Amino acid sequence: MKIAVTIERADTNSAIDPHFGRCAWFCIVDTTDNSRALTDNSGGAAASHGAGIQAVQTIAEKGVEILVTGQLGPKATNALKAAGIRAYAMTDGTVDDALTKLQNEQLKRIA
């Protein structure tokens, strides 16, 4: 399974960026081998509109099934649902914190 976490900088244990569509980076964790990859979101972050939809496309292309982020707009929420990606809310902490809380079922699902 692949999990995407919105992050502030290009570091695989960066602090979480609470913004989805305009986050700087995604850290994508593959739980099958615990590998981590960084994905640049500068295209979505710089978009004049539709940043959330572009960000959904970016993570969907990477095979992401779960997203951890702070907040989502309605268009991004609908795009995530259409892509079959479940989203969970977390506004502070690091990637490691997000993974631990997700594993311990301590994160609220974003409907």
Residue ranges per structural domain of the chain: 2-88+95-102
Q: Which residue has the tokens 């809310």?
A: 89
Q: Which residue has the tokens 């997203």?
A: 67
Mean pLDDT on 32-50: 79
pLDDT > 70: percent of the chain: 93
Q: Which residues pair with 6 in a beta bridge?
A: 26
Look at residue 42 in the predicted model and tell me its pLDDT.
79
**Mean pLDDT for the chain?**
92
Look at residue 51 in the predicted model and tell me its pLDDT.
82
pTM of the model: 0.92
Separation CA 19–CA 93 (nearest Å)? 14
pLDDT tens digits, residue range 46-77?
Answer: 455 668 899 999 999 999 999 999 989 899 99
Q: Under CATH, what is the fold of the domain 2-88+95-102?
A: Nucleotidyltransferase; domain 5 (3.30.420)
Q: What does the block give as tokens for 55?
A: 């960000």
